[in-house]
């Protein structure tokens, strides 16, 4: 029987953090067993906001290295700009997505506020490219963190409208959001999602942070003036730290609350830091190994692209034919 297919992507910008790991990468690793998987380093999405060309190239390799070190099969990873079909299908979908749909995207609203007068058309159109990524590969499921759900829903909507208008062309994908860790918040501001584009020192735990940096960031994380360690959403700082503990330890909420009964925040934070350090240790020790030979890593990414290109080209050909192009 043909295995169902999982597809997802990650931007090679900033530093990958534990939100990316718990919301996405860790479940990608687990899903590989059951699903035929394809993972994309989305450099064309990265340029929707200004990037330094010298930095971007290195970040693409760093991102791929982190995926490989986490346990993703290198054969299943490719770079988005290596496959022209992504940009071409994005244009076609552009012509099938009403502006009103894009206007409703909450991520655009947030990101465009940050860019102010330099908001490029590509940032507005970002979900069309993401829909193209997903629809080129007959994707069944799209494992993502909570913040990407709205974009996956837009991909479903455009696929449905396209199929209804031009005849069956695209498979309709489903988002898959993890139970624990789908929305990790900033350590310094638990009202805001942990994000690669925030560069305040205490905001995020990066996947390549050394143990001492992890300890310092967790000890300084914003909490409140209470002291009991309990899962209460009305106390966002301690709640976020508990969610991180839950996701890394695999323990249940009642077990965690029982463990820290009467022990206070400082004690909890110290233990949390050790759980995070231990959770990231296998990834960190493999990272040096998988990135030691940049030419080899490049050849793995080129091969990854060669493996999936025929799938993408086939889907693009069908979409063009359906629309009467060429």
Q: Contact region for ligand TYM (CB under 6 A) — 9-17, 243-251, 266-274, 310-318? A: 9-17
Directed axis angle between helix 211-219 and helix 264-291, to 10°?
150
Q: Within a 10 A sphere around the Cβ of 230, how many other Cβ atoms?
A: 14
Under the criterion CB under 6 A, does residue 130 sit at the interface with ligand TYM? Answer: yes
| DSSP H helical ranges for 47-180 | 53-70, 85-94, 99-103, 106-115, 121-135, 149-166
Contact between 184 and ligand TYM by CB under 6 A: the answer reads yes
CA 316/CA 136 separation, integer angstroms: 7
Whether 184 and 244 have beta carbons less than 8 Å apart is answered as yes
19, 74, 279, 305: which one contacts ligand TYM (CB under 6 A)?
Answer: 19
Smallest CA-to-CA distance from 208 within 69, 12, 7, 39 is with 69
Q: How many residues bind ligand TYM (CB under 6 A)?
A: 26
Residue closer to ligand TYM (CB basis): 9 or 279? 9
Residue 193 is a binding residue for ligand TYM (CB under 6 A)? yes
Which residue from 182, 187, 273, 297 is in contact with ligand TYM, where contact means CB under 6 A?
182
Nearer to ligand TYM, 236 or 263 (CB): 236
Kindly state whether residue 134 participates in binding ligand TYM, applying the rule CB under 6 A: yes
Cα(151)–Cα(157) distance, rounded to whole angstroms? 10
* Choice from 23, 74, 279, 305 touching ligand TYM (CB under 6 A): 23
Catalytic status, residue 196? yes
Interface with ligand TYM, residue 148, by CB under 6 A = yes
Two tokens at 218?
A: 């967790």
Given the complex with ligand TYM, which of 142 and 277 has the nearer CB atom? 142
């Amino acid at each position: 029987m043909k295995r169902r297919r999982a597809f997802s992507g990650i931007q090679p910008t900033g530093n990958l953090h534990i939100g990316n790991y718990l919301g996405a990468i860790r479940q990608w690793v687990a899903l590989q067993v059951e699903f035929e998987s394809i993972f994309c380093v989305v450099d064309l999405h990265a340029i929707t906001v200004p990037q330094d060309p010298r930095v971007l190239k290195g970040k693409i390799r760093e991102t791929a290295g982190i995926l490989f070190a986490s346990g993703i099969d290198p054969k299943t990873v490719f770079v988005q700009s290596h496959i022209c079909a992504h940009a071409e299908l994005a244009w076609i979908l552009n012509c099938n997505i009403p502006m009103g749909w894009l206007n409703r995207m909450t991520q655009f609203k947030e990101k465009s506020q940050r860019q102010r007068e330099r908001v490029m058309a590509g940032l507005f159109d970002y979900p069309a490219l993401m829909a193209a990524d997903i629809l080129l590969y007959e994707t069944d499921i799209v494992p993502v963190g909570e913040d990407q759900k709205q974009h996956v829903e837009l991909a479903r909507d455009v696929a449905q409208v396209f199929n209804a208008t031009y005849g069956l062309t695209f498979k309709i994908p489903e988002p898959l959001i993890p139970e624990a860790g789908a929305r990790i918040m900033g350590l310094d501001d638990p009202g805001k999602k942990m994000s690669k584009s925030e560069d305040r020192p205490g905001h995020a735990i990066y996947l390549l942070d050394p143990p001492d940096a992890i300890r310092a960031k967790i000890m300084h994380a914003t909490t409140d003036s209470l002291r009991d360690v309990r899962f209460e959403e009305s106390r966002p700082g301690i709640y976020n730290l508990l969610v991180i503990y839950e996701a890394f330890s695999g323990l249940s909420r009642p077990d965690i609350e029982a463990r820290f009964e009467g022990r206070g925040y400082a004690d909890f934070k110290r233990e949390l830091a050790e759980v995070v350090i231990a959770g990231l240790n296998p990834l960190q020790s493999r990272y040096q190994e998988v990135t030691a030979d940049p030419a080899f890593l490049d050849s793995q990414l080129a091969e990854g692209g060669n493996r999936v290109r025929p799938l993408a080209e086939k889907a693009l050909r069908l979409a063009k034919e359906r629309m009467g192009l060429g």
